[in-house]
A = this chain, B = another copy of it.
């Protein structure tokens, strides 16, 4: 098996600079969309339909679908619940279909559609994602969902953790500056991830909204073996 390449794209607004065809795109939105999706499948959810706009989510709601939605951390009235992973881990969601719309994550997932495979990743399924990618022949692009198209420290940090695992233990190589930068950031942060979280602008955003109960959960690696995949408008495992 030849060496597969790793690229890291730090914002969906730069994704057009990469060619995802024939590759695996790994979508990352640590706070909180991709963590929530991984948690959902670990708790028996059947499928998640990501939608970018609220109007589309509302229409699904009118048809009786369960709706999870959030903009800037706030749940809109028409949604059944917001963006916290804890919402997706409740009793009664086994075998459920959930329609999901968020500020950054769900848009990034849809953007990755031209890839051969779209993988939903977060710290909670880090090793499972690395193992999954190692088994495939595909080159990898890690796409950070970011914050309104800006650089997001926690997403890039995760990109570094995943890239380091792929380079160290599997047949991967990289000549991508963003990947090398992300690995250095991960190398600085890993020594004390819970202290490092104070650097994330998003930690402070969540704290202001009293939504920061999820931070520790979102930064704890390997809580599930689920590897959700997005294809043809739906996320399943």
Q: Which residues of A come within 8 Å of B, CB atoms?
A: 8, 10-11, 13-14, 17, 147-153, 156, 175-178, 180-181, 184-185, 187-189, 199-202, 204
Residue from A181, A184, A201 whose CB has the most chain B CB atoms within 10 Å: A181
Check A178–B204 contact: CB distance below 8 A. no
B175 touching A151, Cβ below 8 Å: no
Whether the pair B177, A200 counts as a contact (CB closer than 8 A) is: yes
- Determine if A199 and B178 form an interchain contact, defined as CB atoms under 8 angstroms apart: no
List B contacts of A151 (CB < 8 A).
8, 10, 14, 177-178, 181
* Alpha-carbon distance between A204 and B178 when the two chains are bound, in angstroms: 15
A181-B178 in contact given A14-B11, A188-B188 (Cβ < 8 Å) = no
Which chain B residues lie closer than 8 Å to A156 at the CB level?
177, 181
Which one of A11, A148, A150 has the greatest number of beta carbons of chain B within 10 Å? A150
Given contact pairs A177-B202, A188-B188, enumerate 9 new A-B contacts (beta carbons under 8 Å): A8-B151, A14-B151, A151-B181, A153-B180, A153-B181, A180-B199, A181-B181, A184-B185, A184-B188
In the bound assembly, the distance between CA atoms of A189 and B151 in angstroms comes to 20
Contacts of A175 in B (CB 8 A): 201, 204
Q: 8 interchain pairs (CB within 8 A)?
A: A10-B151, A13-B13, A13-B17, A153-B181, A181-B181, A184-B185, A184-B188, A184-B189
Chain B residue numbers with a CB within 8 Å of A147 are 177
Candidate in A156, A175, A184, A185 with the most chain B CB atoms within 10 angstroms = A184
Q: Is the CB of B152 within 8 A of A177?
A: yes
Are B17 and A14 within 8 A (Cβ)? Answer: no
Residues on B with C-beta less than 8 A from A8 are 151
Q: Which residues of B contact A152 (CB under 8 A)?
A: 177
Distance from A139 Cβ to chain B, minimum over Cβ atoms (Å)? 16
